[in-house]
Amino acid sequence: MYKVNDVVMYRRNVCKVVGLSETGAGGEAIYDLVPYDTPDGSVRMQVPVSNKGGHLRSLITKKEIRDLIKKTPSVQCLDSKPANMKSQYANLLKSDSLQDLICIIKTSYLRNKARADQHKKLASIDDEYLHKAEKYLYDELSVALDMTYDQSKAYFNKEVEKASRS
């Protein structure tokens, strides 16, 4: 069970637990969450403590980040079939897995690079999902590593490059 002031992930949002309460109807215990990027409390979410939907989890740890970095070079890209890329990306984005975000990032980056190398216009779907996946991944890493978004992105990419060489 999380406590007030714990930082958690709800779906793809880094949130702070700001309270525990009960719903009026069934008396079910709920967490009051505030997204980390709106600390003024203007946005609040209520999530059952039972977490029946399975979308509430602890923030990634530094050890888990190191493990993720080691696994990143072996994360497989999606099959590149333009007709269903959007649905493939959307399905991965719905999961709570950071490896799925890395799959989106790798796939869209490589597809865009191939198009650029052929002097073609970048695919808007790839670009859109690349930015979404990066935002979700680096938002979580920046909080876990106590870095800015840009610092966490640079750190992660540098460490993945090192891992790829070993």
DSSP symbols for 86-117? HHHHHHHHHS--HHHHHHHHHHHHHHHHHHHH
pLDDT of residue 52 exceeding 80, the answer is: no
Structure confidence at residue 24 as a pLDDT band (50, 70, 90): low
Interacting residues of 82 by C-beta distance below 8 A, sequence separation 6+: 123
What residue type is assigned to position 63 of the chain?
A: K
Q: What is the Cα 151 distance to its own chain's centre?
A: 16
Of residues 70 and 52, more confidently modeled: 70
- β-partners of residue 47 are 31
Greatest extent of the chain over all pairs of C-alpha atoms, in Å: 60
For residue 157, give its domain range: 62-165
| 96 φ, ψ (degrees, to nearest 5) | -105, 10
pLDDT, mean over the chain: 90
Residue 26 or 145, more confident: 145
Residue 1 maps to a domain: no
Q: Which of 120-124, 132-136, 142-146 has the lowest mean pLDDT?
A: 120-124
Looking at the predicted structure, is the pLDDT value of residue 21 above 80?
Answer: yes
Q: What was the pLDDT predicted at 93? A: 93
- Based on the structure, what is the number of domains in the chain? 2
State whether 15 and 82 are in the same domain.
Answer: no
CATH number of 79's domain = 1.20.58
Q: What angle do CA 138, 144, 148 make, to 5 degrees?
A: 55
Rounded to a whole number of angstroms, the CA Rg of the chain reads: 18
* Residue 123: partners with Cβ closer than 8 Å, 6 or more residues away: 82, 85, 111, 112, 115
49 and 96 inside one domain: no
Both 106 and 71 in one domain: the answer is yes
Task: Tell me the CB-side half-sphere exposure of residue 50, using CA atoms within 13 A.
Answer: 8
The C-alpha atoms of residue 69 and residue 119 are separated, in whole angstroms, by 31
- Statement to judge: residues 48 and 70 lie in one domain: no
